[in-house]
Amino acid sequence: MEKVVLITGASSGIGKETAKLFQTKNWKVAATMRDLSASDDLQRIADIECFRLDVTDEASIKKAVEDTLESFGRIDAVVNNAGYGLIGAFETVSVEQIERQFDTNVFGLMDVCRAVLPHFRRQKRGVIVNVASISGRVGLPASSLYCATKFAVEGFSEALRFELAPFRIGVKLVEPGPIKTDFYGRSMDVAENDGVERIREYENIVDRVLFNMNEAAEGAPDAAAVAAVIYDAVTDESGKLRYSINSKGVPLAKRLLSDRMTGFLLKKALMK
C-alpha cells in the first residue's frame, strides 16, 4: 500500500528536501507552504502535490488536511517542519514578535497535530514527527524566545506520545544542531533595538552570537542530511523518541557536566 506524508514548511530548506526524499522512497507527498508561488519545482515532480498551509491560520490547516485526504485518500505521517528563529536579547523583543514566535513554532504545530489526529485514530496508525532543535535541549545566548518554543515542543512531544500510544500513533522528535540552510537568513527574525539607547549594550552580544552561528552553519550538514534523519524517524518502529543530527555533543555535555561548565562551553563557542 502506498503511504502518504504531509510536510509543513516545504517551500525551501529541510521541508523541501524532505518532500523530495520521500518521493524517491515511493511515498505520496503533500508538500504544504504558506505561499504556493514557491512550489513550481515541486509541482513538477510526480507524486508530490502542493497545498497552501499557514500554521498560524487554523482554517488553512484544516483545508490542507482535507485536500490531502481528498487527493491521496489517507495520511500516514505528518512532519511538522514549519518554523523560524527569533534571535536577540529578550529585552529588545516586542510583544508582537513573542506572540508570532509562539504562534508559529508551538501553537501552529499543535494545531496541525489536532487537525490530523482524528484521521490517525480512525485508521489506528500514524506518525507525527516534530522538528525541534538542539535549542530545545539547552538554552543558548540571544535565543531565549526561540529556545522557549523549542523546549515547549520537546515537552509537548514527550508527553503526547503516551496519550497516542494506545492508538498506534507514534511521536518523534528530530533535533538538528547547526545546519547549512537558509534558516540563518530567510527563516530568521532578528530583534531590533529601535534606537533605544539603554539597550545598545546588547548589540555586541547579539552580533557575536550571529557571527558564530553563521560560522558554525558553514561547515555543517545540509538540509538533505536532516531529511534523511526525518525519513528514518518516520519509518523506524522501534519506539525511539529523539533523533539528533550535528547536536549530540550538547545534550551529552548537559547530562554529564555541571550547569556552570556547560554554560562556560556554550559561552566560549557562541560568544567568543
Q: What is the mean pLDDT of the chain?
A: 88
Catalytic residues: 146
Instruction: Note the pLDDT tens digit of each residue in 62-86.
Output: 999 999 999 999 999 999 999 999 9
Q: Which residue has the cell 498560524?
A: 56
Higher-confidence residue of 269 and 189: namely 189
Task: Measure the CA–CA gap between 234 and 37, rounded to whole angstroms.
Answer: 28
More confident: 185 or 91: 91
DSSP letters for 143-212: -HHHHHHHHHHHHHHHHHHHHHGGGTEEEEEEEE-S-BSGGGTTTEEE---TT-GGGGGGHHHHHHHHHH
pLDDT confidence of residue 127 = 98
**Among 4-8, 128-132, 191-195, 216-220, which stretch is predicted with the lowest mean pLDDT?**
191-195
Enter the pTM of the model. 0.89
Half-sphere exposure of 123 (CA within 13 A, CB side): 16
Structure confidence at residue 217 (pLDDT): 65
Residue 183 has pLDDT above 60, yes or no: no
Q: Are strands 85-87 and 242-245 parallel, antiparallel or unpaired?
A: unpaired
Check the CA dihedral 55-103-188-213 and report its sign.
Answer: negative
What is the CATH code for 4-270?
3.40.50.720
| pLDDT at 195 > cutoff 70 | no
User: Residue 165 and residue 236: Cα distance in Å, rounded?
Assistant: 15
The answer to whether 103 touches 50, Cβ cutoff 8 Å, is no
